[in-house]
Each structure stands twice: as structure tokens, then as C-alpha cells.
């Protein structure tokens, strides 16, 4: 009797076919995993937005601060919006974990604001920051605030759209400029004003107003584009113009905004002739029907 068996040629052909199938399937599986992680990120931002809306409803319609502070320097611990949502029971979090609503699964495991800025490193805006946090000089350090109930260090990989002039004294404070602000910052140079809580009534287009986005920390709205020095927006997902960011809006919904369409704020000196082009681009990017970083874009751009 003869035993049936594969010939060497048949085995080689079978192995070659299997290798070809694997090479075809692996990219598709990788893309599917990326899509799944992006969906988790989008859901997380939606949960955070719902938590912020609940916070506002329980606190006389004030918007959750990006953090609370007591001067212009930040030399005292600042709590942070995610830490507030956790402490007050709106969105629970664990200590320095990646398995959290406040952490995008596509985050690069790097401390994005360790030295105070992201500089020109394109990976840092895709990293994370721990809260509560204290800024000393040019560095940021996580620090608990037990006397105020902040007994966890929470790892956060989302940027919040806030008035955030920490580290220097500004000439003036314009209330209700963005989604929220660093409450307690001040006083300004030209008038004894401090940043106060924003109220939802200040939002003229809440469905278009960006609240949080993939990224780190807060502020620097003028530097939102890919490749800009000190950008804090982390374009972690595929999209035109260099990627896309998942975004939560002031009305509680979440969506994807590509790097091409993500709006930037006004340049530092919008009235100077050298800034004319950037000012015009900013006005166009925040125009009606598009996402905006401003609580009231019409008021912000009226003089321009």
C-alpha cells in the first residue's frame, strides 16, 4: 500500500499562498485596529463633554475651568478639568492609567509638556500630561492637592480650548474668549482683572465651538496647525492635511476634524501689518458653518 502525502512542491506552494494571504490581511487588520481605537477616542471625548455639561448644569451654568489658579505664574498646584470631573463624580478615572476616558488609545507614550512647551517635536502634541500639575520655571510637575480633594494623578491626552496665559502677565483679559479659561489668573497689567468662569450663555454657536481635542494641555490657539512650533493639537488619526483630531464640542457632541480644517486663533499681534495674512486666514477658518475656537467669533473678528 502507498501512503498519500504532499509533495515538496505542493508544500512550498501552500506556504507561499499562506504568506501572500497574510501580507494582504495584515494591513487591513492594522487599519481596523486604528479605526477601533479612533472610535474609542471619539466616545471618550463625548463622555467628557457630557460630564462637562452635567457639571455646568449643577453649577449655575458656569463652564468647567481648564484649571483653577491664584496668580499669573502657576507656582501653586493647578487642579485640571479632568481631575475636577473625577473628584466631583461626573467622569471617574484611575491613577495614571491609559485605560481612562481621559486618554486616547492612539496616544504616544511620552510626556508632552515635560519642559513646558512642545517645541518643534511633532510627537509631543500626541503625548500626555498628568493632572493636577504645577509649573515651576519651564517645567511641569504632577502634584496632588489633598486639601481640595485631589488625591489622584490623572493622565490626560486631550487639549482643552481655554484662555491660558499662564507664566507671564498679559496687558488685558478679555472675558469669555474661548470655551473656558484658567480661572484665577491675574491681574492683567492695564486693569485689575482676573480670568473668571465662562458661562454657557457666552457661546453663540455651541455646536461649532471646540471644547476638547486630541492633544495636550490648553491654549496657544494660534498654533494649531501641523508643523507649527509649540502646537498642542495631536493629530493622532488619519485625515487630510497631516492627520485628524477627534473633537468634543460645547453642545456635547463629538466629531472628527482634519488638520486641514482645524481652526487657528488670531496671531499674537493681529493688527500689525506683518500679521495681516494670518489674521485673514484665522477669520476664514473660524467662519460660520465651520468649527471655531471662539465663544463668539463674530464679536472676536468684528474689528478685523
Which residues neighbour 256 within 8 Å (Cβ) at sequence distance 6 or greater? 38, 42, 237, 239, 244, 245, 246, 247
**Model pLDDT, residue 30:** 60
Question: pLDDT digits over 118-147, tens only?
Answer: 999 999 999 999 999 988 777 888 999 999
**Model pLDDT, residue 294:** 97
Domain spans, the chain: 37-299
**Neighbouring C-beta atoms of residue 20, cutoff 10 Å:** 10
Strands, E assignment, the chain? 67-68, 129-131, 133-136, 139-142, 154-156, 158-160, 162-163, 180-183, 210-214, 244-249, 254-258
> Is the pLDDT at 211 greater than 70, yes or no?
yes
Which residues neighbour 36 within 8 Å (Cβ) at sequence distance 6 or greater? none
Question: pLDDT digits over 262-293, tens only?
Answer: 999 999 888 888 888 999 999 999 998 899 99
Pairing of strands 129-131, 210-214: unpaired
Query: With 0-12 CB in 10 A as exposed, 13-18 as middle and 19+ as buried, what is 242?
Result: middle
Q: Mean pLDDT over all residues of the chain?
A: 90
Question: pLDDT digits over 234-263, tens only?
Answer: 999 999 999 999 999 999 999 999 999 999
**Neighbouring C-beta atoms of residue 16, cutoff 10 Å:** 10
Q: How many residues does the chain have?
A: 304
Q: What are the grid coordinates assigned to 95, written together?
A: 491613577
CB distance 280 to 77 below 8 Å: no
pTM: 0.89
Q: What are the grid coordinates assigned to 219, written together?
A: 491654549
Question: pLDDT digits over 54-81, tens only?
Answer: 999 999 999 999 999 988 877 789 999 9
Q: How far is CA 277 from CA 254, 271, 281, in A?
A: 30, 11, 6
**Model pLDDT, residue 113:** 92
Amino acid at each position: 500500500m502507498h501512503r498519500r502525502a504532499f509533495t515538496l512542491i505542493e508544500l512550498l506552494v501552500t506556504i507561499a499562498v499562506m504568506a501572500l494571504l497574510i501580507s494582504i490581511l495584515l494591513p487591513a487588520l492594522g487599519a481596523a485596529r486604528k479605526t477601533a481605537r479612533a472610535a474609542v477616542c471619539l466616545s471618550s471625548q463625548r463622555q467628557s463633554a457630557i460630564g462637562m455639561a452635567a457639571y455646568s448644569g449643577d453649577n449655575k451654568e458656569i463652564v468647567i475651568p481648564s484649571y483653577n489658579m491664584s496668580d499669573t505664574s502657576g507656582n501653586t498646584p493647578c487642579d485640571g478639568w479632568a481631575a475636577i470631573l473625577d473628584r466631583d463624580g461626573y467622569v471617574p478615572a484611575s491613577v495614571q492609567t491609559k485605560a481612562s476616558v481621559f486618554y486616547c488609545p492612539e496616544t504616544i507614550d511620552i510626556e508632552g509638556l515635560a519642559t513646558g512647551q512642545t517645541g518643534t517635536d511633532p510627537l509631543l502634541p500626541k503625548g500626555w500630561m498628568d493632572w493636577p500639575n504645577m509649573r515651576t520655571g519651564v517645567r511641569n510637575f504632577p502634584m496632588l492637592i489633598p486639601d481640595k480633594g485631589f488625591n489622584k494623578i490623572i493622565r490626560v491626552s486631550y487639549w482643552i480650548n481655554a484662555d491660558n496665559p499662564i507664566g507671564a502677565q498679559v496687558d488685558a483679559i478679555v472675558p469669555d474668549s474661548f470655551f473656558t479659561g484658567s480661572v484665577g489668573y491675574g491681574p492683567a497689567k492695564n486693569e485689575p482683572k482676573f480670568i473668571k468662569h465662562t458661562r454657557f450663555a457666552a457661546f453663540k454657536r455651541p455646536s461649532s465651538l471646540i471644547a476638547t481635542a486630541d492633544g495636550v494641555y490648553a491654549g496657544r490657539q494660534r498654533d494649531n496647525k501641523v508643523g507649527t512650533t509649540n502646537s498642542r493639537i495631536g493629530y493622532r488619526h488619519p485625515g487630510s492635511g497631516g492627520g485628524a483630531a477627534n473633537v468634543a464640542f460645547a453642545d456635547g457632541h463629538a466629531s472628527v476634524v482634519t488638520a486641514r480644517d482645524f481652526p487657528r486663533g488670531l496671531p499674537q499681534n493681529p493688527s500689525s501689518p506683518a500679521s495681516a495674512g494670518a489674521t485673514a486666514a484665522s477669520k476664514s477658518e473660524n467662519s460660520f458653518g465651520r468649527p471655531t475656537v471662539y465663544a463668539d467669533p463674530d464679536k472676536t473678528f468684528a474689528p478685523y
